[in-house]
Amino acid sequence: MTTTTSPIAPVRPEAAPAPAAPAAPASAARLLAVLRILLGFMLVWDVVDKVFGLGISTAAAKSWLAGVSPTAGYLASLHGPAGILAPLAGQAWVDWAFMGGMLLIGAALMLGIGLRAAAAAGTLLFALLWVSAMPTQNNPFVDEHVVFALLLWVFATTRAGDTWGFGRPWDALAAQRVAWLRQLG
């Protein structure tokens, strides 16, 4: 390299600044918000389809409104280790707990509120679904239920409800009026 006495120093290609990447926390927060909303929608959709029998995964003749238990067919067909859940098939309290749990967990995820409570309840729900799916088809230990349960805790511990959700207003309400709400969210 030659030296010059020019007041303008030569620009070296290696010294040029790299283009700036999007801020990791903001982009990660948006990605978590999308995942949170999509998982919530999956749960709420399952409830709507099972109640009304929209024909996607539940035929109208097999809907809850047609008088068919949303848990009876699935739980009654379980064998092997998962067969311990078979006696619960068709019991009204199981139907209401299953459907209400999916609806409340899904709504909490979509709204971004009560994410710690949703993570605790969702972990129980997904653990029971995981047990009922044993042995899993593609992997002897891990299936989507395990991944979804872990994802719920990621949402709860990263304040994923603050982005595109009502997490901040939920916390403000809890701080001002109802302190126990803060523990849920």
Which pLDDT score is estimated for 170?
86
Percentage of residues in the chain having pLDDT higher than 70: 83
Total Cβ atoms within 10 A of residue 100: 12
| Domain extent at residue 143 | 31-184
Asked, for residue 26, whether it belongs to a domain, the answer is no
Which pLDDT score is estimated for 3?
54
Residues 9, 67: contact at Cβ < 8 Å? no
Asked, for residue 3, whether it belongs to a domain, the answer is no
Which pLDDT score is estimated for 21?
45
pLDDT for 125-180, tens place per residue? 999 999 888 888 888 889 999 999 999 999 999 999 999 999 999 888 877 776 66
What's the domain count of the chain? 1
> Hey, what long-range contacts does 163-166 have (CB within 8 A, 24 or more apart)?
163/29, 163/30, 163/32, 163/33, 163/112, 164/30, 164/33, 164/34, 164/37, 164/112, 165/33, 165/36, 165/37, 165/110, 165/111, 165/112, 165/113, 166/111, 166/112, 166/113
Asked, for residue 21, whether it belongs to a domain, the answer is no
* pLDDT mean over 32-54: 97
Asked, for residue 64, whether it belongs to a domain, the answer is yes
Asked, for residue 15, whether it belongs to a domain, the answer is no
